């Protein structure tokens, strides 16, 4: 049995543009869970984010994770030379009961897997900060925190070659977060909360969102956590 907990908290910049959706297909028995983080807080992206999450989950449960995420991307794709419409990043998880799951993502939403002993980050941020940190070998040697907002790939530009695909163990707990959680709560805090609440998805989701603190300018991003057990 799959249990899902979801928690959200609006940031300080405007209406929340995060969205989640889950869907179980009766034809495939696959369950899909999508997390979307819209870029900005304009009316268009606030309205679009739930549609992206629902599209990704419903298509993903039937046709697979890659098809699900790219179908969501088709809703925001603007072929004009200078894209001006809304866009978003997201992660999509798909699994069949009692079997290993699969995950795809675009941008800087994250997924973590807890096996009862350690918290492993399953995704890699598609940001300039992450790229420069990997190129340097050690993130601590590169002062690129300010570059974490420079997202290199979003749903509107996603194609099969730019969407990573990973396998996720069937057992354990999976945690999906927007950057409003993992950029504003240290990894050790996230891991401590998972260790304490891994058996209670809703309590863990609530705790993760509550742990996201404002920065020095008192700014707090939209924060969303989805916990799947």
The CATH number assigned to the domain with range 4-228 reads: 3.60.40.10
Lowest mean pLDDT segment, chosen from 6-10, 22-26, 155-159 = 155-159
Look at residue 139 and tell me whether its pLDDT is greater than 50.
Answer: no
- The residue among 24 and 133 whose pLDDT is bigger is 24
Lowest mean pLDDT segment, chosen from 4-8, 14-18, 25-29, 95-99 = 95-99
| Contact indicator for 170, 101 with CB cutoff of 8 Å | yes
- The residue among 223 and 14 whose pLDDT is bigger is 223
Look at residue 138 and tell me whether its pLDDT is greater than 60.
Answer: no
Alpha-carbon dihedral sign for residues 57, 63, 66, 67: negative
| Contact indicator for 123, 106 with CB cutoff of 8 Å | no
Report the percentage of the chain scoring pLDDT > 90.
Answer: 67
**In the sheet where 173-177 sits, what is the strand order?**
4-9, 223-228, 173-177, 110-114, 119-121
Look at residue 20 and tell me whether its pLDDT is greater than 70.
Answer: yes
CA atoms within 13 A on the CB side of 211: 23
How much is the pLDDT for 24?
Answer: 97
Show me where the domains of the chain are located: 4-228
- The residue among 150 and 141 whose pLDDT is bigger is 150
Look at residue 44 and tell me whether its pLDDT is greater than 50.
Answer: yes
Look at residue 225 and tell me whether its pLDDT is greater than 60.
Answer: yes
The pLDDT tens digits of the residues spanning 157-201 come to 889 988 999 999 989 999 999 999 999 999 999 999 999 999 999
The model's confidence at residue 29, banded by pLDDT at 50, 70 and 90, is very high
Lowest mean pLDDT segment, chosen from 127-131, 133-137, 205-209, 225-229 = 133-137
Look at residue 61 and tell me whether its pLDDT is greater than 90.
Answer: yes
Helix 43-63 vs helix 65-74: crossing angle, to nearest 10? 150
- Alpha-carbon distance of 82 to 92, in angstroms, equals 27
The pLDDT tens digits of the residues spanning 80-129 come to 554 567 899 999 999 988 888 999 999 999 999 999 999 999 999 887 65
Indicate yes or no: pTM above 0.85. Answer: yes
């Amino acid at each position: 049995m799959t249990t899902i907990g979801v928690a959200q908290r609006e940031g300080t910049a405007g209406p929340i543009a995060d969205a989640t959706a889950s869907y179980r297909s009766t034809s495939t028995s696959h369950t899909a869970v999508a997390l979307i983080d819209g870029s900005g807080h304009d009316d268009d992206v606030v309205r679009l984010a739930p549609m992206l999450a629902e599209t990704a989950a419903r298509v993903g449960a039937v046709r697979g994770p890659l098809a699900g995420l790219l179908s969501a991307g088709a809703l925001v794709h603007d072929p004009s030379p200078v894209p001006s419409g809304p866009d978003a990043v997201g992660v999509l998880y798909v699994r069949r009961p009692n079997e290993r799951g699969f995950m795809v993502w675009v941008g800087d939403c994250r997924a973590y897997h807890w096996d009862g002993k350690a918290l492993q980050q399953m995704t890699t941020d598609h940001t300039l900060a992450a790229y420069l940190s990997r190129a340097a070998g050690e993130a601590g040697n590169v002062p690129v925190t300010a570059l974490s907002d420079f997202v290199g790939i979003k749903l509107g530009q996603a194609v099969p070659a730019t969407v990573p695909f990973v396998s996720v163990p069937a057992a354990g707990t999976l945690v999906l977060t927007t950057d409003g959680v993992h950029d504003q709560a240290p990894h050790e805090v996230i891991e401590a909360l998972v260790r304490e609440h891994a058996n209670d998805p809703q309590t863990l989701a609530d705790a993760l969102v509550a742990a996201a603190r404002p920065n020095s300018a008192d700014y707090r991003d939209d924060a969303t956590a989805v916990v799947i057990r």
